[in-house]
Amino acid sequence: MKNSQGFDYDLLVVGAGSAGLSAAKRAAKGGLKVAIAEQEKIGGTCANRGCVPKKLMVYAADIAKEQAMAAGYGWVNSQGLFDWSVLKQAMQQHIAGINQSLRSQLEATGATYLNGRASFVDQHQLQIGDRRVSAAHIVLAVGAHPTRLNGPGMEHAITSRQMFMLEALPKRIAIIGGGYIGVEFGSLLNWLDCEVTLIEKDSQILTGFDSDIRCAVQSALTERGIRFFGETQAESLEKTPQGLQLKLNDQSEPLQADCVLMALGRQPNLDGLNLEQAGIETESGAIAVDDYGRTSQAHIFAVGDCTHCNQPLTPVARAEGEAVAQTLLGQATAIACDYITSAVFARPEAATVGLTEAAARETLGADMQVHCKSFEPLRYSLSQQSGEGLIKLIVNQQSSQVVGLHLVGDHAADIVQSVAVAIRHGITLQNLSHTLGIHPTVGEEVLSL
């Protein structure tokens, strides 16, 4: 049945990940006739091969961490055996449940689910599998894929996409890239008895985060035995009977590993979309959009990781999808990108919101004020494990408004996202210091600077 304009649908969303599902469900609930196309599993990267399975692996590693701390608390027989195959099967079952739940939620809105690869025929028509579909408006939410190095033998390396399908965990792993993906995998694999080497072209891990946070996390990881090569680049990879040999630009001998993981960021999934058929412009390998997610074609929008609009985070993608749907429903909604929280689920955990010290220095100049302290949570006092945390507040000295919060330590993500609400609404340093915390907790440290 065609709509009043002669199209099959009012809205066609391409990509059923976090951004696409958010846009499709909101638009369908608002009364639009909606279809969503997906060539892989519903849920996209986050649910199937990203945030969810990786966090489940983090939890598995946390149990190993707790076992290492148990003796200090009187547990004389706390060691257990870890079976990767059992965890892998449990993760797959959990993800299958998420897929089914997402499909049910989508169908409940009345939206149509189309399975197949989509490519533009013209500005309003797309070929999806073996059928052609037309729509008055289109939202591209095709996500991104892991970046790979080009070089001799690099085809023997894997990306995060393959990490969750390994037949067995490696004894020795080399991770190329010290961003949050590489750091998280390195941290959890270290707790699961893998020998981990992190290789980063910068001098420190976690480029883009506050410098003190980067230093605190890196120091903790190296203290746990993770080897780090900074200002280093991988040149070639060779598969031998003894394993993989990774040649590094500043090392005379190749690095020996059972597995090499490329954690070098992500690139938009634009291949095969035939964007030129619709006259959609790109910029630096991503779809160019304005503050409302609109592309160079007024009726076509793009959200999530296939654009350069905001940070590549699941909550951001969902918010972008929601905002575009609101715009299509007649309530023009710009995509807000201030005070976005983010976290690194390493051990120690790190989380951040607002300006780094370097950014605040550029923005505020002499009005920037830094409050920073280290602390040791009570739970580590009876353990040989180190749990030193760090809290850093960036303050506008003139107004006393808190403009940045950076935290390393247990529950950092939960604490920072809670305080972020107050920071977005202009909380001052005095407001924080006059709030009585709960003792003894990590969260009270934020209130006592």
Helix (H, G, I), strand (E, B) or coil at 446: helix
The whole-angstrom distance between residue 340's C-alpha and the CA centroid of its chain comes to: 12
Alpha carbons 424 and 443: distance in angstroms, whole number: 18
The label of the residue with tokens 């608002």 reads 30
Q: Known catalytic residue: 439? A: yes
Choose, from 156, 406, 425, 439, the residue flagged as catalytic: 439
The label of the residue with tokens 């037309």 reads 134
Helix (H, G, I), strand (E, B) or coil at 133: strand
Alpha carbons 46 and 40: distance in angstroms, whole number: 13
Give CA separation, 123 vs 19, 119, 160, 279, in Å. 21, 11, 34, 7
Alpha carbons 235 and 348: distance in angstroms, whole number: 30
Alpha carbons 142 and 40: distance in angstroms, whole number: 11
Structure tokens at 323: 């905002």
Residue 205's nearest CA partner among 51, 346, 357 is: 346
Is residue 344 within 8 A of residue 351, CB to CB? The reply is yes
Torsion over CA: 81, 86, 92, 98 (sign) = negative
Alpha carbons 232 and 249: distance in angstroms, whole number: 6
Structure tokens at 276: 């030129």
Structure tokens at 167: 């037949």
The label of the residue with tokens 């066609």 reads 12
CB-based burial of residue 1 (10 Å sphere; 0-12 exposed, 13-18 middle, 19+ buried)? exposed
Which residues are known catalytic residues? 439
